[in-house]
Structure 1
């Protein structure tokens, strides 16, 4: 009996010890679970905060800057109509242009333009109005104008866009950006040209500058007259089956806008005093596409020794001569002309069929009749297809990395 009682007494501490270990393990497991839950909660909070910050940054209210602040940071625009500067801690570029709109409508229009975000557009941050001038504040995007990339007077034989894929990438970015302007922002650009396009390294992506400038400056006014809307809709239905932006736009000052336009990029209807429209944007883009392909300016004047005078050479005309009527031109001859016309700095390293297709798209854009020009959705789709075909062509040319070549004797 005593022995049994001693055995029981001896066993009690062991039982307590096991109980203590179990409690300790339970406590450790519980604290680990709490720590894990706390960590997960912290991660969720951090994720929520980052998403809120992203949403707030994208919905940032555009700023109407006081003119005194703009004047101070730009040094009153001495000897320049644009100025890169630091404004409220941001690296920006400020442009000025004549204002012809309604000052009371500016805040609402500014909010509408600043809500638009696209990777191919330089973002507008705000504006300032003083007298008859509007000052537009854009984010600074590091890059070089497309015109300088294609035509550097210091080194005409060099171009950073020396590969076919870099040029077709720029073309795709421009088409998608302008398609966004027309169909998602319900406005037009009105100043598409090579000097208003930035090429950004290292991947040679393109951004369109001055988005919203024509709208905010009052160059473009929405037609509020119901009869005018019906007339424009009927005209669109008669001349083209293609879709067009729902908003009808007109030019506020035909003669003045004609003077401000850039020769070579202006559609024939603008030269004749007609109204600006999304079709005139398409025309200008077509000219830029031809520049990308050839590296040449839209218009050049060459000296004719035979007649002892200068004659005007249009890039559109030379492109049409290179393509020629398909039904009257043998494929081999036509592709020979295309190779001769395309920028020689590409060193003949590009898919000729893709180049020919892009020339044809560009020539559709620069049709003399505005009604014959396609809308940007069609253009962007065609260029995207050419881009994908060009990437496939590039992949076929690349050397497989799994193979090695040895020239050593066996």
Structure 2
């Protein structure tokens, strides 16, 4: 039974009840012809002969009274039928219009739903950047990650030609993809099909489908084509921090304030993972190559393939990058949020000194940045001499000493001696100008200050 029929049924019952009540009410004896005998008082009594004569006189008129009563009843029934018919007609007209309205509304909803499903299988709105794509850009949706059509990725990257390569990431090559004149994205192509690579791919999609923060890279979607998997990220125009520091420019684009801004952005991203996610998340692979920079040098943490919940860190396979692994994790497999704090300390040293975490001294020997820098970080007379030449003599010495002190605390061998990332963040924010996201006032001494060798 359709909607109009369901609505018509109670209306018909109501009309019938109304009509029946009128008929029943009109079928009751009229008080004018009631047969109830009311005893008369003695004062009102008349002689029997007079009463009989009056009854005989009135008896011929009795049928006329009954006829008048039936005519009145017929009129009332006719009026009731007219009223009921009118009400029924109004109800029918209302139902017709209501049915037309519902049918139009359902068509609109089905159209919008089908168009939404063409861009996302779950029927939920995609992220703002994905919404800028044509509806043919994606063919489904899992969580908040869109499933891209392979042909679309192929067209956006010029068939994955070498000229579209923008860099290399963990386990794959990164291509620049142009979906429209206004929308660029980065596509990471993962050719490795072993179990570890597949697990990391699924882990990446799982975490980044849930995590949304201004300092965590946005995953637009993914694609699986044969044995090859693709991850589609928002475009980060300035590449990775590693490329900026250790690439062809050797950090020339990164001023002291920009470096501090990048450190604060990365700390904010880590604080979100450690303190605000439920359950907390341990990134497990924080390093300069996984800190990406957009066109304004806003830093965002990427690559969550190794990330784990802080509640399931027992018996975790040791994975990560040499030079960033905390000692307790590397030696004993003990993983906590303090392991990420250690890795952040290494990144902070890279920003200060412009050196890699592990550098080759000779063909068979390597030198750790921590072992080389630690003795000099705590010596104020030596510290200015190990600063990256690009930023040397460009910062307030007090700020330099404070950053060095924070780095030393982060890379302590004992995890309990390391600060929480929240404490690290609060120590660095005052060193970043307000226009770059910090709290440093313009009136404070931030101009170039020459370093005194005798210090």
TM-score interval (norm. to shorter): 0.5 to 0.7
Tell me, yes or no, if structure 1 residue 301 matches structure 2 residue 350: no
Alignment partners' CA distance in 2, 1:109 and 1:147: 21
Does the aligned pair in 2 maintain the 1:289–1:362 contact within 8 Å? yes
1:272 positional shift: 2.6
TM-aligned CA deviation for residue 277 of structure 1: 3.7
Is this contact kept in 2: 1:147–1:194, CA < 8 A?
Answer: yes
1:306 — aligned with what?
none
User: In 1, Cα distance between the equivalents of 2:447 and 2:377?
Assistant: 29
Task: Give the TM-score taking structure 2 as reference length.
Answer: 0.54
Give the C-alpha shift of residue 94 in structure 1.
Answer: 2.3
Q: Confirm or deny: 8 A CA contact 1:67 1:128 kept in the other structure.
A: yes
Aligned to 1:114: 209
Residue 371 of structure 2 corresponds to 317
- Are residues 1:396 and 2:396 paired? no
Deviation string 1:285-313 (CA, Å, 9 cap, x unpaired) is: 1100000011111122335xxxxx86533
| Alpha carbons 2:429, 2:439 under 8 Å: kept | no
Distance, in Å, in 1 between the alignment partners of 2:205 and 2:153 is: 17
Instruction: Tell me how far apart the structure 2 counterparts of residues 248 and 295 of structure 1 sit (CA, whole Å).
Output: 35
2:187 aligned residue:
94
| Counterparts of 1:108 and 1:288, CA distance in 2 | 24
Kept in 2, the 8 Å contact 1:197–1:207? The answer is: yes
CA–CA distance in 2 between the matches of 1:313 and 1:381? 31
Q: 1:124 aligns with which of 219, 226, 233?
A: 219
Q: How far, CA to CA, are the matches of 2:390 and 2:282 in structure 1?
A: 33
The Cα of 1:269 is off from its aligned counterpart by: 3.2
The alignment of Structure 1 onto Structure 2 pairs a total of residues equal to: 294
Aligned to 2:386: 341
* Superposition map of 1:2-401 within 5 A: 57=128, 61-65=144-148, 75=159, 81-86=173-178, 90-95=183-188, 96=190, 100=195, 110=205, 113-129=208-224, 134-153=229-248, 156=250, 159-162=252-255, 164-185=256-277, 186-202=280-296, 204-210=297-303, 212-215=304-307, 220=308, 247-250=311-314, 253-254=317-318, 257=319, 261-272=320-331, 274-302=333-361, 311-324=365-378, 334-387=379-432, 391-392=440-441, 395-396=444-445
Counterpart-to-counterpart distance in 2, 1:214 and 1:339? 36
Q: Secondary structure at the match of 2:408?
A: helix
CA separation in 1, counterparts of 2:335 and 2:177? 32
> What are structure 2's unaligned runs of at least 5 residues?
1-124, 132-143, 166-171, 449-455
Give deviations 1:180-213, integer Å, cap 9, x for gaps: 12223332322221122223344x3222222x33
Give the aligned partner of residue 12 of structure 1. Answer: none
Instruction: Assess, with a 3 A threshold, how the Cα gap between structure 1 residues 188 and 136 changes in structure 2: closer, same or farther.
Output: farther
Change (3 A) 1:280 1:392: same
Shift of 1:275: 4.8
How far apart are the structure 1 equivalents of 2:246 and 2:214? Answer: 25
Q: Is the 8 A contact 1:250 1:277 kept in 2?
A: no
CA drift of 1:340 comes to 0.9
Instruction: Answer yes or no: is the 8 Å Cα contact 2:209–2:219 preserved in 1.
Output: yes
User: 1:345 aligns to what SS in structure 2?
Assistant: coil
Check whether the contact 1:198–1:209 (CA below 8 A) recurs between aligned residues.
yes
Distance verdict in 2 for CA 1:300–1:110, change over 3 Å: closer
How big is the shift at 1:175? Answer: 0.6
Report the Cα distance in structure 2 between the residues aligned to 1:291 and 1:280, rounded to whole angstroms.
17
Q: Give the C-alpha shift of residue 398 in structure 1.
A: 6.0
- Which deviations, in whole Å up to 9, do the C-alpha atoms of 1:215-240 show, x marking residues without a partner? 5xxxx4x5xxxxxxxxxxxxxxxxxx
Tell me how far apart the structure 1 counterparts of residues 317 and 281 of structure 2 sit (CA, whole Å): 17
Report the 3-state secondary structure (helix = DSSP H, G, I; strand = E; otherwise coil) of the residue aligned with 1:85: strand
Whose relative contact order is higher, 1 or 2, with alpha carbons under 8 Å and at least 6 apart? 1
Q: Which runs of 5+ in 1 are unaligned?
A: 1-53, 223-244, 304-308, 325-333, 400-410
The 3-state SS of whatever aligns with 1:348 is coil
Tell me, yes or no, if the aligned pair for 2:174 and 2:187 is still in contact at 8 Å: yes
**Pair 1:269–1:131, CA change in 2 (3 A):** farther
* Paired residue secondary structure (2:184): strand
